[in-house]
Amino acid sequence: MPQVAARINNDQERWLKDYFRTKSAGAEFILPWAVDTFFRAITAIKHIFSAAELKTIVEAHKDMRLLPDHTRLSYLLLRIVDACDVNSVHLRHGASKSSLESKLKSLDDTEATALMVWASAFWVSRSRSAESLDDYIKFA
């Protein structure tokens, strides 16, 4: 099985040891579970939004560094509304700002985080191109 070196804080290390006896055993369970859960969540979440709305969400995350402390619905809403108000990204893709905002508000923090990770991932993908955005929003 491939190895992954992750960075965790002291609280996370203690949590893994408390629940799984060792941090290695915890990491071997948590990481694959988190990846599977992410892909199931993003597949379900993406069906809520239109293609134009998904493109707007992805574009709003261009040049954004995603930080764990900023993965909440409030940050997602701020990011999207700001991108629409300042750069009119919704108009570029033919999305309704009010419809998009309404749909985003229906998400919980975990769903919002999955959406933010998915949108940000497009910009760091090795195969990213303007042409691949259509394919990206269909994938998952």
**What are the tens digits of pLDDT across the range 54-80?**
999 999 999 888 888 888 999 999 999
In a domain, 92, yes or no: yes
Identify whether residues 26 and 87 lie together within a single domain.
no
Q: Confidence band (pLDDT; 50, 70, 90) for 109?
A: very high
> What mean pLDDT do residues 105-116 have?
94
Identify whether residues 36 and 99 lie together within a single domain.
no
Identify whether residues 132 and 99 lie together within a single domain.
yes
Q: Among 55, 63, 41, which residue's Cα sits nearest to residue 93? A: 55
Cα dihedral 139→113→61→12 (10° resolution): -110
Integer Cα distance of 88 and 77 in angstroms: 15
pLDDT at 130: 59
Residue 38 and residue 117 in contact, taking contact as beta carbons nearer than 8 Å: yes
Q: What is the pLDDT of residues 79-108, one digit of tens each?
A: 999 999 999 999 999 999 999 999 999 999
Question: Phi and psi dihedrals of 2, rounded to 5?
Answer: -65, 150
Integer Cα distance of 66 and 117 in angstroms: 7
In a domain, 93, yes or no: yes
In a domain, 1, yes or no: no
- Total domain count, the chain: 2
Q: Confidence band (pLDDT; 50, 70, 90) for 135?
A: confident
Identify whether residues 81 and 25 lie together within a single domain.
no
- Which residue type occupies 49? F
Q: What pTM, to 2 d.p., does this model score?
A: 0.84
In a domain, 106, yes or no: yes
Identify whether residues 18 and 57 lie together within a single domain.
no
Identify whether residues 38 and 53 lie together within a single domain.
no
Domain ranges, residue 129:
49-138
